[in-house]
Amino acid sequence: MPQDAFTLRLIAKELNEELRGGHVNKIVQPSKDEVSLLIYTGRRTVKLTLNTNASDCGAYFERTETPVPLVAPNFCMLLRKHLQGAEITGVELVGFERILRFRFFSGSDFSAAERDLYAEIMGKYSNLILLDEKGVILGALKTTSLDTNAKRMIFPGVPYAPPAPQEGKVSPLDPSLGEVLQNASGDLGHFLFTRVSGLAPSTAEEIASSFAGGDLRDHLLAYLFSDMVCPRVVIRDGAAVDFCARGDQGIPFETLSEAQTYFYGERRAQKSFEGRKRKLLAAVSASVKKHEKRLSAVLQKRKECEGCEQNRIKGELLTANLYALTRGMKGAELENWYDGTTIKIALDERLTPAENAQSYFKRYRKQKRTLETIAPQEEETRAELDYLGSLNAAVLSAETADDLAALEEELGEAQLIKPAEKGRGKRQKPEIPYRAFERQGFRIFAGRNNLQNDRLVRSASPDDLWLHAERYHSCHVIVKTEGKEPPEDVLAFAAAIAARYSDAHGDVVPVSCTRVKYVKKPKGCKAGFVTYTQSVTLAGDPQKAE
């Protein structure tokens, strides 16, 4: 993402052409690092986002709606005071620095004022600074103080001073550029990046690779100040990873602004997706920890009660040998007729032999009752942990927003997260579709969550094929046969789907396959749990489901 001066100059040119003459209708601050301006350009309304986040810094148009806080932050209120309703008179790059200058004019019958909003796009040092017509700072998104930054003061009432130039680098606008470039040696791309300001490493490499000899200064300036653009968004592993002003790989766009809008939209969507996924994983993990703690307590109780039969035997042996025992004895060594051995039995010297025997019987009955009580608790807890394991596998294998929406629905019903509110009178949301595939004319469906798995099995015909990863949590896969016998390639693809959307790891995953009529759902069991018979095992290769 080369947000260097070279790219920003081209962005400033496009922003100036699009926004000049437009009016600011609304200003919001969705987060501490970004400000959005809704601008009516005379043709349409656009949303300009000025982002100072270290990883997403930039000035770009945005099409998605983002939630805003109920109470506007101070800097947002300051911008509304000075820029609400103002006309944009121009957008330009300051020198050859990574700074965009947005010029505004607000006037009425009684007053007129000019304001400048500086967007410093400098990674973790990015900032937004509002100036009056004299260049005095009215406010900034990130302010400093004398205690933290004595070299550059950024707070209201102080004249604006641009950031100090990078040491050891020369600006392309500097007359001494030619002398610096005469000393170029070694890797030309690295030399340009380390000695010329305003260049990202990728831009410096492009300039170096396009240099075919001659005057390096002329070539550099011609490249940097040409208005030619060939915007591209670079895609890697299905995700947008970068954009460039001039490129030959990736998705092409007509303008750099469109490329930026697409790139940042995809990046924001990916961040939102990952955030939702982390939230679901955290909810499942918290429930797993709670149930593991409960199971640990149950197992500890069971361990404590494992000797209950010994207490019964001791009570019976004491009862059978009352004639040989007296009060005050601390113990007795009696023959155990159950296994022919001798057993030592501790006695309470304060009790009679009969009372000691009854004490062992009482302890036996209490432990037996405890075992009978905790048995269903252990079974229920293990079933819940198994269900949570299936949820965890489904969240980890989620790939789309629909996958997460289906899982949020299930976790909401399971009370693991706060369920979505169903407002009265609101139209009910459409049901999230299954994952759908097609292979050689056969339709194949896979559930996105356990609720969908159950619905999918219920809606399938008895002779349809059902697939599920053996010994692993996975989605349920249905192959619609419609009276035909699927070929091996179709079955292999369906098995690959079951393997891909499972918590199994490896190149080959065993997958069970049977007819839907042999799949049964026991009464009262958790969502997604079924039993099946008459199955065959297929080899599922997750890579074949791409």
Model confidence over 386-396: pLDDT tens digits? 999 999 999 99
For the ranges 79-93, 224-238, 287-301, 470-484, the lowest mean pLDDT is seen at 224-238
Asked if 27 and 83 count as a contact pair (C-beta separation under 8 A), the reply is yes
**Contact criterion met (CB below 8 Å) for 19 and 37:** no
**Residue 117: both structure tokens together:** 């909003």
- How far is 315 from 300, CA to CA, in rounded Å? 24
| Tokens matching residue 334 | 């009696």
pLDDT band at 214 (very low <50, low <70, confident <90, very high): confident
CATH entry 1.10.10.10 includes domain 1-164: no
The answer to whether 33 and 46 have CB atoms below 8 angstroms apart is no
Please give the average per-residue pLDDT across 459-485, as a whole number: 94
CA distances from 543 to 247, 344, 495, 499 (A): 31, 64, 11, 9
Average pLDDT over residues 493-509: 92
Check: pTM over 0.85? Answer yes or no. no
Per-residue pLDDT of 55-84, as tens digits, reads 889 999 988 888 888 889 999 999 999 999
Annotated domain spans of the chain: 1-164, 285-419, 435-545
CA distance 417 to 410: 9
Q: Using alpha carbons only, how large is the chain's radius of gyration in Å?
A: 36
Give the span between the Cα atoms of 513 and 278, in whole angstroms.
32
Q: What is the mean pLDDT of residues 469-490?
A: 93
C-alpha 511: how far from its chain's center?
Answer: 29
User: Is the model's pLDDT at 12 over the cut of 90?
Assistant: yes
* Contacts for 503-508: CB closer than 8 Å, 24+ residues apart: 503/389, 503/392, 503/393, 503/396, 503/397, 503/472, 503/473, 503/474, 504/469, 504/472, 504/474, 507/541, 507/542, 507/543, 508/539, 508/540, 508/541
How is residue 267 written in tokens? Answer: 């990046």
Phi, psi for 317 (deg, rounded to 5): -65, -40
Residue 109 has pLDDT above 70, yes or no: no
Question: Tell me, what's the pLDDT at 241?
Answer: 86
- Cα–Cα dist 29/31, whole Å: 6
Asked if residues 130 and 139 have their Cβ atoms less than 8 Å apart, the reply is yes
Query: pLDDT confidence of 247, banded at 50, 70, 90?
Result: confident
Residue 466 contacts residue 385 (beta carbons within 8 Å): no
Lowest mean pLDDT among 206-215, 281-290, 453-462: 206-215
Instruction: Give the mean pLDDT of the chain.
Output: 90
pLDDT above 70 for 156: yes
- Compute the average pLDDT of residues 348-364: 93
Number of residues written out for the chain: 546
pLDDT over threshold 90, residue 505: no
Tell me: pLDDT of 114 over 60: yes
> Any idea which residue has 């019987």 for tokens?
361
**How many other C-beta atoms are found inside a 10 Å radius of the C-beta of residue 177?**
18
The 10s digit of each residue's pLDDT in 406-427 is 999 999 988 999 887 655 545 5
pLDDT tier, 105 (very low <50, low <70, confident <90, very high otherwise): very high
Count CB atoms within 10 A of the CB of residue 172: 19
In single-letter form, the type of residue at position 82 comes to H
How confident is the model at residue 424, as a pLDDT?
52
CB 54 within 8 A of CB 124: yes
Q: Could you tell me the two tokens for 194?
A: 């380390």
Provide the 8-state DSSP code for 21: T
Q: Confidence band (pLDDT; 50, 70, 90) for 281?
A: very high
Q: Is the pLDDT of residue 2 over 90?
A: no
Question: In the predicted model, is pLDDT for residue 248 greater than 90?
Answer: no
Q: Which of 61-70, 94-103, 243-252, 298-307 has the highest mean pLDDT?
A: 94-103
> Helix (H, G, I), strand (E, B), or coil: what is residue 183?
coil
pLDDT in tens, 120-130: 999 889 999 99
pLDDT above 70: percentage of residues in the chain: 96
